[in-house]
Amino acid sequence: MLKRKKNPNKKKLPVAVPIIAAATVVLFVIRLYQVYDPVIRRHIFQNGLTGPLVTGLRLTELGSNLLSTAAYLFLAFSGLVVLTGFLTLRRWSWVLLMVWTGASLTVSLVDYFTSRSNYIVMSANVIVAFALNIPEVQRVYKIRKKDEPAH
């Protein structure tokens, strides 16, 4: 039986990279659920928009649901684009994933204070943020130089 030779030039990825990718996939699936949940609960697909979105300077419940749906939709699909770049080891994807994680954490904190908290999303975001700051991960994405020590 022939054994496959390992390529000595191929870099081995840190364990944190697949963990980050898996957490991002989990976040994508949860955000997709959060897109459809308010729309289905309010029967918007069957009945359409049945009331005003804004009264005065405040959003109605329907307006708030549609705004959060739009935010979750943006987070879900931008996360998918960033994940694609991350898996192809693009430097820009590390930066955008850090920004995406910050935005997702911000949305999660807003949800927390409006009594719709999702602890799985918060946990996954924290895991991604910490894993992105591991020096080996930063070296793979050329955020940190190879000879630069970890602080």
Query: What are the tens digits of pLDDT across the range 103-117?
Result: 889 988 888 888 778
pLDDT value for 92: 93
Closest CA to 34 of 80, 84, 71: 71
Whether the CB-CB separation of 97 and 132 falls below 8 Å is answered with: yes
pLDDT at 128 over 90: yes
pLDDT at 9 over 60: no
Residue 103, Cβ density class (10 Å: 0-12 exposed, 13-18 middle, ≥19 buried): middle
- Scanning the structure block, which residue is given the tokens 């999660």? 108
Whether the CB-CB separation of 150 and 53 falls below 8 Å is answered with: no
The residues, ordered by sequence, that sit 6+ positions from 61 with a Cβ below 8 Å of its Cβ are none
- Rama region for 38: left / alpha / beta (φ>0; ψ in -120 to 50; rest): alpha
Percentage of the chain exceeding pLDDT 90: 33
How does pLDDT run across 141-150, given as a tens digit for each residue? 989 887 777 6
Q: Per-residue confidence at 138, pLDDT binned at 50, 70, 90?
A: very high
pLDDT at 21 over 80: yes
Q: Per-residue confidence at 131, pLDDT binned at 50, 70, 90?
A: very high
**What integer best gives the mean pLDDT of the chain?**
84
**Residue 105 CB: number of other CB atoms within 10 A?**
17
pLDDT value for 1: 60
Q: How far is CA 99 from CA 2, 38, 57, 83, in A?
A: 46, 26, 30, 13
How does pLDDT run across 25-65, given as a tens digit for each residue? 998 898 888 888 877 877 777 777 777 878 888 888 878 77
Q: What's the number of CA atoms in the CB half-sphere (13 Å) around residue 6?
A: 5
Q: Per-residue confidence at 4, pLDDT binned at 50, 70, 90?
A: low
pLDDT at 11 over 90: no
Whole-number Å distance between alpha carbons of 67 and 93: 26
